[in-house]
Structure 1
Amino acid sequence: TELESQRVELKQQEEDLRSRLKTLQSERLARKDLIASLSQEIKNKGFARDKLAQDRARIEALLAKLVLRDTNLDGAVFTNAKGQLNWPVEGQLTYRFGDPRAGGRLSWEGIYFSAPSGSVVTAVGRGLIVFSDWLRGFGLLTIIDHGTEQMSLYGFCDSLVKQNGDWVESGEIVAFAGQSGGQDVDGLYFEIRINGQPTNPLAWLAKR
């Protein structure tokens, strides 16, 4: 009958509406989960950015103190070796100077080599060890003063060989690579600072 047909049609419409409602609810939940996920990602990136900024401030403060020391080093030797320095570790170059960090809000002020834990880390030039200890954000860190406010930094090490006040020659072992900086991959973080400012280490190291 016509009445029965209308009932069937209405029931079908009701089922269609319920199905659409269920779909909309699922989509709403999916959007909610996506928003929550994005919010957490933004929060994590913000935390990482703030942490990196604090780490950067920490190393800047340390270097500001170190450059005040008079080491009586002739920095000309190091300066003249620009573009010819030995690489500090045998490994794969993973991050380059200026590469983005923390979602692009910050950038790498040095370079990162991925290398097996325990890989030998050597001084890129003659100098005086002015820091050899753990520093938050950099793990086990060695800093060598090469004279006239030229310094090389070796971070994320597994262990350190030299102590403050030790003199080292180019190629001499100063540490072993690791992941004491909290990174996921074993390796070495390396910086060169001139007058306290980070500079591209690849401009100083011998071409490969």
Structure 2
Amino acid sequence: MASKKSKLKQKLTNKFRLVVLNEESFEERFSLKLSVLNLFVLSGVFSILVIVFTTLLIAFTPLREYIPGYSSSSLKRKAAKLTFEADSLKLRVAILDNYINALKPVLKGDLKPAAVDSIKKVTSSFLLDESKLNASKTDSLFREKIDSKDRFPLAKETNQKANIVFFAPVNGSFTQKFDAQNKHFAIDIVAKTGTAVKAIADGTVIISEWTAETGYVISLQHANNFISVYKHNGNLLKQQGDFVKSGEVISSVGSTGELTTGPHLHFELWNNGYAVNPTNYIDFQ
């Protein structure tokens, strides 16, 4: 038994010389000493390297899309986009249904007018003393002074506020609030990866790109010189120049960029070139 093992070991360790010669001059160009054991080892190492290289090539390159069972990245993006658009359509359909249900009683005539007219109800026993309605001279001058100072500024400010109605981009808890002293001109909202991020108002996409620090970034220009910025997104569904409606899905929550600490939305709101606290304009509850 020992002799068989020694013979097998000798066969495996016997050296063989591989020589490459020039066919015409028989000049030695290359030579290599090998044994059967070395040949097996080299073959095994080469096979492992080929397997590892092939696995990495399939796992981290677009070649995996040609293998059955793997879906393409473009197909995944289209599926995510269609899912978010379907969510937006469901919301709009629900709003339209509520509006139609509110109009049905009016169109069918189910709503009855008031039985008593308030004008006819006034009788001679209920008469106003017009003398009490006349303001005094001092009161009139005071009212005119106040109206001349405050009437138009108040009306202008009221009209501007009435024209601005912002939609919450995403619901969630705050991990960091607006802090102008520490130059954190935004609020960080925690949400699950893939959660739909919606436009806060009608606007135009002015930025839709990738940055090393903040990952996928998208920014919208709104009326009254408002600009909204959404950072650390997982996917961007709108391109620069696209017009979006209020509540329309523009991206999804992610954790991209070097400065991210987890899945969240970094949201900024700017007005006339200054950062403003989004919680003063938007109800995130």
Does TM-score exceed 0.5, indicating one fold?
A: yes
How far did residue 132 of structure 1 move? 0.5
Distance in 2 separating the partners of 1:181 and 1:78: 36
**Structure 2 residues not aligned, in runs of 5+:** 1-157
Letter in 2 for 1:97: F
How far did residue 149 of structure 1 move? 2.5
Q: Which of the residues 192, 195, 205 maps onto 2:272?
A: 195
Q: Secondary structure at the match of 1:107?
A: coil
Q: How does 1:79-90 map to 2 (within 5 A)?
A: 80=162, 82=164, 84-90=165-171
- The 1:113/1:148 distance shift into structure 2, 3 A limit, reads same
Distance in 2 separating the partners of 1:160 and 1:77: 34
Give per-residue Cα distances to partners, 1:82-111, cap 9 Å, x unaligned: 5x52210122211110077xxxxx331010
Q: How does 1:68-83 map to 2 (within 5 A)?
A: 80=162, 82=164
In terms of fraction of residues, the more helix-rich structure is: 2
Q: Secondary structure at the match of 1:159?
A: strand
- The 1:131/1:175 distance shift into structure 2, 3 A limit, reads same
Specify the alignment match of 2:243 in structure 1: 167
Q: How does 1:57-136 map to 2 (within 5 A)?
A: 80=162, 82=164, 84-98=165-179, 106-136=182-212
Query: With CA pairs under 8 Å and 6+ residues apart, which has the higher RCO, 1 or 2?
Result: 1
How far did residue 185 of structure 1 move? 1.4
Q: Secondary structure at the match of 2:267?
A: strand
In terms of fraction of residues, the more strand-rich structure is: 1
Structure 1 contact 78–146 (Cα < 8 Å) conserved? no
Structure 2 contact 227–269 (Cα < 8 Å) conserved? yes
Distance in 2 separating the partners of 1:97 and 1:147: 22
Give per-residue Cα distances to partners, 1:11-61, cap 9 Å, x unaligned: xxxxxxxxxxxxxxxxxxxxxxxxxxxxxxxxxxxxxxxxxxxxxxxxxxx
Specify the alignment match of 2:103 in structure 1: none
How far did residue 173 of structure 1 move? 0.2
Structure 2 contact 186–268 (Cα < 8 Å) conserved? yes
Give per-residue Cα distances to partners, 1:167-198, cap 9 Å, x unaligned: 00010000001111331210100010111211
TM-score by length of 2: 0.41
Distance in 1 separating the partners of 2:248 and 2:159: 16
- The 1:138/1:80 distance shift into structure 2, 3 A limit, reads farther
Distance in 2 separating the partners of 1:187 and 1:77: 34
- The 1:207/1:172 distance shift into structure 2, 3 A limit, reads closer
**Structure 1 moving runs of 4+ over 2 Å:** 76-82, 135-138
**Structure 1 residues not aligned, in runs of 5+:** 1-75, 101-105
What is the number of residues matched between the two proteins? Answer: 127
- The 1:135/1:186 distance shift into structure 2, 3 A limit, reads same
Distance in 1 separating the partners of 2:184 and 2:238: 26
TM-score by length of 1: 0.56
- The 1:195/1:134 distance shift into structure 2, 3 A limit, reads same
Q: Secondary structure at the match of 2:279?
A: helix
User: Is 2:232 the partner of 1:151?
Assistant: no
How far did residue 80 of structure 1 move? 3.3
Letter in 2 for 1:112: D
- The 1:115/1:78 distance shift into structure 2, 3 A limit, reads farther
Structure 2 contact 171–284 (Cα < 8 Å) conserved? no
RMSD: 2.3
Distance in 1 separating the partners of 2:159 and 2:237: 24
